[in-house]
């Protein structure tokens, strides 16, 4: 396997260096997500935490979307995630193509049923089916950039948000980290709540090409071809690139250096003592 070969070559054997690298990555994520949450609280001019319900709702949707499909497919439900695992050799090309097709059709149908359920409410609020403006409802289904957002900044927004999300997914599903399988969908959904809380301001954090393009294609039926604005490619291409970046960053910073339980166990010693592997009787006592 590609990852096993790279791990053998790139695995850092110095315990202190591995620990420092992990602390760097963890603190980077802490500040990236935490400070972005603060930015979203300050920048919308008073609309603080307005999206928390959306963040939690989508997080719960991720939990159960992953849970119901995990045993049969791995629970990707996102073409960017599928491409990421394809890039590291954990998904075959044929499966990738089939997954992406299924994901886009699932997103299209999900949008259609939502439209049926809320058709009367949408008509009462937006009789003309507008795409932008105070009465626009197209944003229920697909992402549209905030007025301040450029295409370049929007692309970076989608790339970075997806990279962070996939980085966290790669950590959660990495067998070396020993998360129980029943817990993994909950952790992935929780990670997505964090992504929404940190990156929702610019464009609503689609970070999923199927989730954006499938519903956008559906809305073209009722809102017209103008739903395909100059923005529409950004939440497709940005997440694809971000997914690959995120999964490789995980392996280079963490995954290639994480010991399996059977390989090594470590204990943090106080004072001036170093991080040392446990062996023999000490290792058995901490098992």
Q: Is the pLDDT of residue 274 over 80?
A: no
Q: What is the pLDDT of residue 42?
A: 66
For residues 88 and 81, give the distance between their C-alpha atoms in angstroms, rounded to a whole number. Answer: 11
Q: Is the pLDDT of residue 79 over 50?
A: yes
Do 64 and 185 meet the contact criterion of CB atoms below 8 Å apart? yes
Among the ranges given (99-113, 129-143, 266-280), the one the predictor scored with the smallest mean pLDDT: 266-280
Q: How confident is the model at residue 209 (pLDDT cuts 50, 70, 90)?
A: very high
pLDDT averaged over the chain?
Answer: 86
Q: What is the pLDDT of residue 261?
A: 62
Q: How confident is the model at residue 203 (pLDDT cuts 50, 70, 90)?
A: very high
Among the ranges given (6-10, 187-191, 205-209, 242-246), the one the predictor scored with the smallest mean pLDDT: 6-10
Q: Is the pLDDT of residue 286 over 70?
A: no
Q: How confident is the model at residue 254 (pLDDT cuts 50, 70, 90)?
A: very high
Q: What is the pLDDT of residue 211?
A: 94
DSSP state of 260: P
pTM of the predicted model over 0.95: no
Q: Is the pLDDT of residue 283 over 60?
A: no
Q: What is the pLDDT of residue 51?
A: 73
Structural domain span for residue 154: 2-261
Whether residue 98 is contained in a domain is answered as: yes
Do 188 and 169 meet the contact criterion of CB atoms below 8 Å apart? yes
The SS3 of residue 130 is coil
Q: Is the pLDDT of residue 258 over 60?
A: yes
Cα four-point dihedral sign 138, 159, 251, 40 = negative
Q: Is the pLDDT of residue 2 over 90?
A: no
The SS3 of residue 278 is strand
Whether residue 286 is contained in a domain is answered as: no
Whether residue 244 is contained in a domain is answered as: yes
Q: What is the pLDDT of residue 29?
A: 78
Whether residue 266 is contained in a domain is answered as: no
Q: What is the pLDDT of residue 54?
A: 84
Whether residue 79 is contained in a domain is answered as: yes
Q: What is the pLDDT of residue 189?
A: 94
User: Within 10 A of 240 (CB to CB), how many other CB atoms are there?
Assistant: 19
Q: How confident is the model at residue 162 (pLDDT cuts 50, 70, 90)?
A: very high
Which residues 6+ apart lie within 8 Å of 106 measured at CB? 77, 210, 214
Q: What is the pLDDT of residue 279?
A: 47
- Whichever domain contains 222, its CATH number is 1.20.1080.10
Q: Domain total for the chain?
A: 1
Whether residue 279 is contained in a domain is answered as: no
Q: What is the pLDDT of residue 48?
A: 53
Tokens of 138: 């197209």
Q: Is the pLDDT of residue 243 over 80?
A: yes
Whether residue 273 is contained in a domain is answered as: no
Give the residue, 95 or 281, on which the prediction is more confident.
95
Whether residue 106 is contained in a domain is answered as: yes
């Amino acid at each position: 396997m590609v990852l096993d070969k790279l791990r053998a070559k790139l695995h850092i054997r110095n315990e202190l260096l591995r620990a420092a690298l992990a602390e760097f990555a963890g603190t980077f994520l802490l500040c990236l997500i935490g400070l972005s949450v603060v930015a979203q609280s300050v920048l919308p001019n008073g609309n603080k935490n307005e999206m928390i319900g959306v963040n939690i709702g989508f997080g719960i949707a991720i939990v159960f979307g992953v849970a119901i499909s995990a045993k049969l497919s791995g629970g990707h439900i996102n073409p960017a995630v599928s491409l990421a695992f394809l890039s590291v050799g954990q998904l075959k090309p044929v499966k990738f193509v089939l997954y992406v097709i299924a994901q886009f059709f699932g997103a299209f149908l999900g949008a259609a049923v939502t439209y049926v359920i809320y058709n009367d409410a949408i008509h009462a609020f937006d009789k003309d089916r507008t795409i932008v403006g105070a009465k626009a409802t197209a944003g229920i289904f697909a992402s549209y950039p905030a007025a301040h957002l450029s295409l370049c900044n929007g692309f970076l927004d989608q790339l970075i948000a997806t990279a962070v999300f996939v980085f966290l997914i790669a950590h959660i599903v990495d067998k070396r980290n020993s998360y129980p399988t029943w817990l993994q969908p909950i952790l992935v959904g929780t990670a997505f709540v964090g992504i929404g809380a940190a990156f929702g301001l610019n464009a609503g954090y689609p970070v999923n090409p199927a989730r954006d393009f499938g519903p956008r294609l559906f809305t073209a039926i009722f809102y017209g071809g103008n739903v395909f604005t100059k923005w529409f490619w950004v939440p497709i291409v940005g997440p694809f690139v971000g997914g690959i970046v995120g999964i490789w960053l995980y392996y280079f910073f963490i995954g290639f250096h994480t010991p399996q339980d059977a390989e090594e166990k470590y204990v943090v010693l106080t004072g001036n003592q170093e991080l040392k592997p446990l062996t023999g009787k000490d290792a058995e006592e901490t098992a």
